[in-house]
A and B are shown apart, each in its own frame.
Chain A
């Protein structure tokens, strides 16, 4: 598998942002904002440049290019090298992460310019880049897990960036702990992989996995894949572990764009796609992946329809779109899933950054009920956001149309009913984004701020992302990924395409009718639906159910049963009881306390002899 190319110093790709983290983290307070921005943006941009250099030097990159830098952990048969690798899948991820990462870093220098803790923010953001790049470059599961946990840490730190706010720190903890539940699955999967494959290295594991066949029905392989999926549902916010992502919007908006939309949350998709060689031999696990994706897509889309916080709408949209990606993976269309990772990174980063620009213009307002008519007041933001809008709504020929189309066709090939559910979800997607856009930019302004357009460091990245959102469908990702994921020769059914496009357009039209032509109707529909509407608006009470059935019983049970009952009551009670008993006996045997040292010595000797005699008798009898 080793390619003939000389070393490309792949390690520089993650280490450059790490340098930025160290400089800003240690010296940031003394550097001043200008230097901090320069270091933060500069190191990420340099990393992007290095990615371009490596890829162009290694093209056509039909095989994995591996670089080893020594051993991290060695214990018996277990050997974990520090090994980075780049193939076409990694190349796509690297371009997205460093490319979009650079744009968002630039944007953030404007967005965060008035915030306390400027250097802390960029230090965390650079640290995130380091871990994310480690994640996609790793050539074994444990190193991938390093990146995986690391991005989770940065997510935690950045969600809780406004650490004076209780809701922010709560959201940070929730993200970390829910992800830990996912990582529980991931780590168990790793242990099983080592037990059965004798290695954690990708080439070694996948080589052996290819020799297996799905018909042999390996229970353990299914277990490995399902456990990996548990990890992926945590990181990529899928049912049942998606609950942390909407709360994660407590973080600054550039973080929502970079970590909680474009890159980190797609790590689960990447990991499953990377493990394709395992999944294709575990059909049951594949089926579960498809179901999880589809259920998540539908569930999150319905919630997205009812939310009024602009960031919450986009957060649920992210959850829903990630569901689409998992649907693709489950149907075996790995390259379609990655294709959607890319286009989604373009348009969802743009939606969040645009939302940030709106929030910036309105001095912190996030409720779309207090917006409206902003089209003329912040025209650049509106125009760029409109590009993301048509992209996510699946309007041809813009980017979202292409990748969604691939996924829906794969779903139809897999189970036709999955296609239909996917189409309905596409309609809902177009509807909630259009609703959000109409309420924000059309009609009369309903707030009381003085909206102002954002500076060029913010609108510049918006413009670049707008171009990518419009044209990103022509990147031919599935064709590019062919060496990794062979294309399936499915026929292109134009009827199916037309139906899904129609669903998207219908969604836009319905939103136009409800929120522009007849803005009183939604309220009456909501009140007509009554309980159903309230259930959806309150996110199906999933958080409440989790707290009621898991968190509270665990905490209360630990307190009253495990601590006060078992530990302090029974276990320590027995210890103190033994002490009391000893004192009682001591009260009786006090009579032996004559004060005569020689008699004490006699007792000690006698006692030791008794113990020895007893042990000799017990042990000696069976000698």
Chain B
């Protein structure tokens, strides 16, 4: 039992505790427990950053004898910050739900903690079967968060979300089972080694199929265009905390899966299909941004902007160079921070005016100046202004894309123009101009609880934009290893072919 195990299982314990204690104190308990988990997770930073390319806090014990499934966990520079992001956002989500959630309060917070359990497990699992279990665990609480506490069309949205993700993960399960038949293990580190050394010798087609089985499961989660249409529905119907966790953490499970599993295990297929995947990413970047531009609904706008932003993540990943991959992983975190904050802020507006339509607002800056300033900073972060977080990630992704294929950078950079259009237009229509009567009546400035919830994210926007090195260097070290692994395998295969 090491610190990582503690961080993984505390949320599960918290989930059970929350079910046992009375509903009246569940939000206080959820807040306290999630803060404890967050503080515990901070202890992971030191050892991992000291040696970011290797797995720290590794634990490898048998779970089920036959088939040979192991509880194998460990984290490196790639997974570290994603776990910290998850443990940070959980208490913030408790805070933003404080008054928003008024019925079945106990279950709500219990599911939130269950979600944290699944998500942290996904980022820590090094056994493919264990990974799959955690992957599925995350589905259940999100299904209920949307289905019970969502808006009018919540059932349609949550069923769509569930089935779509299931469809992908069934493919992944088949691929995992197939790998088991070949290697006799579910252990990711062992399988990767066997694949690299050619002891599992996949045929060209087999590698492509296996890659696609994993990739499609992950691409649905990212979501990569055109597998994205579940996302706007899920976001619009979800309660604020659900949207935040979905955008900030759950989508990253897909991005993470691609980098962690697809690249090292099936490097040949990944490189072979890279031009196609980059093509889809580029379409997603531009189409997502252009569709965001004409959305009348704020949450849909932010949802489509996510499709655009995550296109950058996929593009950077498949540039197959250090800059692209570093940018992609950094962009995962950035999107978690700034889009998480955007969903929070939109949620604050919704709690006041009870509408997600942009046209229900106007002149909010006059009645809620602090909210307006924070929204402005978040907007600027989202559109990639220098000295804020997204700029660093976008720059690295675009630079990496330019090295791989300059045309990719040209098309992707168009998305940067469009992002300014949709965000500034939304800001103008919501916050600027004269204040209509009903807005003046309903919209008040941000309160202390809300400020405490969003402030950490604003601080991170500036911190990650200016002192990028502290976050980026461990990521870079882990990525260098992944690139090295995937390159070695491709070179070996080429040598064998000769």
Cβ–Cβ contact B201 & A73, under 8 A: no
Distance (Å) between the CB of B14 and the closest chain A CB?
32
* Distance, CA A153 to CA B473, complexed state (A): 29
* Distance, CA A96 to CA B372, complexed state (A): 34
Distance (Å) between the CB of B202 and the closest chain A CB?
7
- B-side contacts of A150, CB under 8 Å: 385-387
A323 interface residue per 8 A CB criterion: no
Cβ–Cβ contact A75 & B386, under 8 A: no
Chain B: CB-nearest residue to A74: B469
Distance (Å) between the CB of A188 and the closest chain B CB?
6
With A177-B421, A562-B291, A612-B174 known to touch, is A75 a contact of B322 (CB < 8 Å)? yes
With A191-B409, A562-B287 known to touch, is A71 a contact of B469 (CB < 8 Å)? yes
Classify the interface of chain A: helix, strand, loop or mixed: helix
* Distance, CA A77 to CA B396, complexed state (A): 12
- A-side contacts of B19, CB under 8 Å: none
A524 interface residue per 8 A CB criterion: no
- B-side contacts of A188, CB under 8 Å: 402, 409-410, 413
* Distance, CA A79 to CA B2, complexed state (A): 36
Q: Residue B432 contacts which of A74, A75, A163, A572 (CB distance < 8 angstroms)?
A: A163
Cβ–Cβ contact A562 & B290, under 8 A: yes
Q: Residue A160 contacts which of B175, B432, B468 (CB distance < 8 angstroms)?
A: B432
Cβ–Cβ contact B321 & A76, under 8 A: yes
* Distance, CA A611 to CA B233, complexed state (A): 31
Distance (Å) between the CB of A610 and the closest chain B CB?
10
Per-residue interface assignment for chain A, residues 142 to 176, with 1 indicating a CB less than 8 Å from any chain B CB and 0 otherwise: 10011001100100100010011010011001001
Complex interface: stretch among B111-119, B204-212, B269-277: B204-212
Per-residue interface assignment for chain A, residues 170 to 190, with 1 indicating a CB less than 8 Å from any chain B CB and 0 otherwise: 100100110011011001101
Cβ–Cβ contact A75 & B402, under 8 A: no
Distance (Å) between the CB of B99 and the closest chain A CB?
28
Cβ–Cβ contact B420 & A177, under 8 A: yes
- In B394-429, the 8 Å CB interface with A consists of 395-396, 398-399, 402-403, 406, 409-410, 413-414, 416-417, 420-421, 424-425, 428
With A164-B433, A567-B287 known to touch, is A149 a contact of B323 (CB < 8 Å)? no
B459 interface residue per 8 A CB criterion: no
B102 interface residue per 8 A CB criterion: no
A571 interface residue per 8 A CB criterion: yes
Q: Residue A616 contacts which of B181, B210, B398 (CB distance < 8 angstroms)?
A: B181
Complex interface: stretch among A390-398, A474-482, A553-561: A553-561
A61 interface residue per 8 A CB criterion: no
Cβ–Cβ contact B433 & A73, under 8 A: no
Q: Choose among B175, B202, B386, B395 the residue with the greatest number of A CB atoms under 10 Å from its CB.
A: B386
* Distance, CA A166 to CA B429, complexed state (A): 10
- A-side contacts of B163, CB under 8 Å: 579
Distance (Å) between the CB of A5 and the closest chain B CB?
27
With A77-B322, A195-B406 known to touch, is A145 a contact of B386 (CB < 8 Å)? yes
Cβ–Cβ contact B229 & A567, under 8 A: yes
Per-residue interface assignment for chain A, residues 121 to 149, with 1 indicating a CB less than 8 Å from any chain B CB and 0 otherwise: 00000000000000000000010011001
B164 interface residue per 8 A CB criterion: yes
Q: Choose among A160, A177, A184, A575 the residue with the greatest number of B CB atoms under 10 Å from its CB.
A: A575
Distance (Å) between the CB of B266 and the closest chain A CB?
12
A594 interface residue per 8 A CB criterion: no
Per-residue interface assignment for chain B, residues 13 to 44, with 1 indicating a CB less than 8 Å from any chain A CB and 0 otherwise: 00000000000000000000000000000000
* Distance, CA A555 to CA B431, complexed state (A): 21
- In B253-298, the 8 Å CB interface with A consists of 287, 290-291, 293-295
A490 interface residue per 8 A CB criterion: no
Per-residue interface assignment for chain A, residues 612 to 623, with 1 indicating a CB less than 8 Å from any chain B CB and 0 otherwise: 100110110111
Q: Choose among B327, B366, B433 the residue with the greatest number of A CB atoms under 10 Å from its CB.
A: B433
Q: Residue B403 contacts which of A160, A195, A615 (CB distance < 8 angstroms)?
A: A195
* Distance, CA A191 to CA B293, complexed state (A): 27
Q: Residue B392 contacts which of A73, A176, A184, A194 (CB distance < 8 angstroms)?
A: A73
- A-side contacts of B122, CB under 8 Å: none
* Distance, CA A612 to CA B434, complexed state (A): 64
With A72-B469, A187-B398 known to touch, is A177 a contact of B417 (CB < 8 Å)? yes
- In B443-496, the 8 Å CB interface with A consists of 466, 468-469, 472-473, 476, 480
- Size of B's binding interface in residues, CB under 8 A: 69
- B-side contacts of A571, CB under 8 Å: 226, 228-229
With A75-B323, A75-B396, A567-B287 known to touch, is A153 a contact of B385 (CB < 8 Å)? yes
- B-side contacts of A557, CB under 8 Å: 290
Cβ–Cβ contact B323 & A173, under 8 A: no
- B-side contacts of A74, CB under 8 Å: 469, 472-473, 476
Per-residue interface assignment for chain A, residues 398 to 424, with 1 indicating a CB less than 8 Å from any chain B CB and 0 otherwise: 000000000000000000000000000
A78 interface residue per 8 A CB criterion: yes
Q: Residue A75 contacts which of B327, B380, B406, B421 (CB distance < 8 angstroms)?
A: B327
Q: Residue A166 contacts which of B294, B385, B396, B433 (CB distance < 8 angstroms)?
A: B433
- A-side contacts of B472, CB under 8 Å: 73-75
* Distance, CA A575 to CA B225, complexed state (A): 13
- In B210-244, the 8 Å CB interface with A consists of 210, 226, 228-230
Interface size for chain A: under 10, 10 to 19, 20 to 34, or 35 or more residues? 35 or more
Q: Choose among B226, B323, B399, B473 the residue with the greatest number of A CB atoms under 10 Å from its CB.
A: B399
With A164-B434, A184-B416 known to touch, is A149 a contact of B386 (CB < 8 Å)? yes
B178 interface residue per 8 A CB criterion: yes
* Distance, CA A194 to CA B202, complexed state (A): 38
Classify the interface of chain B: helix, strand, loop or mixed: helix
B187 interface residue per 8 A CB criterion: no
* Distance, CA A616 to CA B160, complexed state (A): 31
B326 interface residue per 8 A CB criterion: yes
Cβ–Cβ contact A554 & B290, under 8 A: yes
A376 interface residue per 8 A CB criterion: no
B363 interface residue per 8 A CB criterion: yes
* Distance, CA A616 to CA B174, complexed state (A): 11
Per-residue interface assignment for chain A, residues 74 to 91, with 1 indicating a CB less than 8 Å from any chain B CB and 0 otherwise: 111110000000000000
With A163-B365, A184-B416, A615-B209 known to touch, is A78 a contact of B399 (CB < 8 Å)? yes
- B-side contacts of A71, CB under 8 Å: 469
B66 interface residue per 8 A CB criterion: no
Cβ–Cβ contact B229 & A191, under 8 A: no
- B-side contacts of A160, CB under 8 Å: 432
Per-residue interface assignment for chain A, residues 535 to 569, with 1 indicating a CB less than 8 Å from any chain B CB and 0 otherwise: 00000000000000000001101110011001110
Chain A: CB-nearest residue to B202: A619
Chain B: CB-nearest residue to A179: B420
A216 interface residue per 8 A CB criterion: no
Cβ–Cβ contact A615 & B178, under 8 A: yes
- A-side contacts of B322, CB under 8 Å: 75-78
Cβ–Cβ contact B294 & A611, under 8 A: no
A497 interface residue per 8 A CB criterion: no
Distance (Å) between the CB of B237 and the closest chain A CB?
15
* Distance, CA A187 to CA B401, complexed state (A): 13
Chain B: CB-nearest residue to A25: B373
Cβ–Cβ contact B203 & A180, under 8 A: no
Chain B: CB-nearest residue to A571: B226
- In A173-218, the 8 Å CB interface with B consists of 173, 176-177, 180-181, 183-184, 187-188, 190-192, 194-195
* Distance, CA A568 to CA B368, complexed state (A): 35
B195 interface residue per 8 A CB criterion: no
Can you list 22 A-B pairs, Cβ within 8 angstroms, ordered by A? A73-B392, A74-B472, A75-B323, A75-B396, A75-B472, A76-B321, A78-B399, A150-B387, A163-B432, A164-B434, A183-B416, A191-B399, A191-B403, A192-B406, A555-B293, A563-B290, A567-B291, A572-B229, A611-B177, A612-B181, A619-B178, A622-B203
Q: What 11 new A-B contacts, CB under 8 Å, besides A74-B473, A567-B291?
A: A145-B386, A149-B391, A160-B432, A180-B420, A191-B409, A562-B291, A575-B164, A611-B177, A612-B177, A622-B206, A623-B203
Q: Give residues in A with beta carbon < 8 Å to B.
A: 71-78, 142, 145-146, 149-150, 153, 156, 160, 163-164, 166, 169-170, 173, 176-177, 180-181, 183-184, 187-188, 190-192, 194-195, 554-555, 557-559, 562-563, 566-568, 571-572, 575, 579, 608, 611-612, 615-616, 618-619, 621-623
